[in-house]
């Protein structure tokens, strides 16, 4: 675990030396996702980790669009973060709103856990969808 934290932090440090390229900035975002997850797993107790579950869920929703945009940015040096990137982050925003509502609204524990489980499954589906989409885009660019 500590090796993962050290490696992710070191790679972020190396990539941060030159932030002019979009693909490096996106890769830093991906690495920061993993750095946060490694650090939370290594240093946080289980009870605190359960309280951080909404952050973990939002990270699942944002990782897919970052990976897809990274593949685009590697092969298209003129790529800009535009409204399409915002559209790709829409599931993360909706999941964040749903989580906020479940924490604010008075719901039973069973309902709360059901919503978190549903959002987790949907988040993994979103991650897989963007991963498959990135793989197809990568195959397209390699041709």
Please write the tens of the pLDDT for every residue from 34-89. 778 777 777 777 777 777 777 888 888 888 888 888 888 888 777 777 777 788 88
Q: Tell me if 63 sits within 8 A of 127, measured CB to CB.
A: yes
Contact 4, 47 (CB under 8 A): no
Task: Work out the pLDDT band at 104, boundaries 50, 70, 90.
Answer: confident
Per-residue pLDDT at 4 exceeds 70: no
Please tell me the distance from the alpha carbon of residue 119 to that of residue 81, in angstroms, as a whole number. 26
Among 2, 62, 54, smallest CA distance to 26 is for 62
Please tell me the predicted confidence (pLDDT) of residue 129.
92
> Which structural domain, as residue segments, surrounds residue 30?
2-142
Q: How many domains does the chain have?
A: 1
Q: What is the pLDDT of residue 46?
A: 76
Q: What mean pLDDT comes out for the span 106-121?
A: 85
């Amino acid at each position: 675990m500590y090796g993962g934290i050290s490696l992710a932090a070191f790679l972020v440090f190396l990539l941060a030396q030159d932030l002019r390229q979009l693909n490096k900035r996106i890769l830093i975002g991906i690495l920061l996702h993993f750095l946060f997850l490694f650090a939370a797993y290594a240093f946080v107790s289980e009870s605190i980790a359960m309280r951080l579950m909404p952050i973990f869920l939002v990270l699942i929703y944002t990782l897919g669009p970052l990976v897809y945009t990274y593949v685009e940015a590697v092969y298209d040096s003129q790529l800009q973060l535009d409204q399409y990137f915002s559209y790709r982050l829409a599931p993360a925003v909706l999941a964040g709103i749903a989580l906020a509502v479940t924490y604010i609204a008075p719901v039973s524990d069973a309902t709360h856990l059901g919503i978190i489980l549903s959002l987790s499954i949907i988040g993994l589906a979103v991650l897989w969808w963007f991963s498959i989409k990135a793989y197809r885009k990568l195959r397209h660019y390699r041709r």
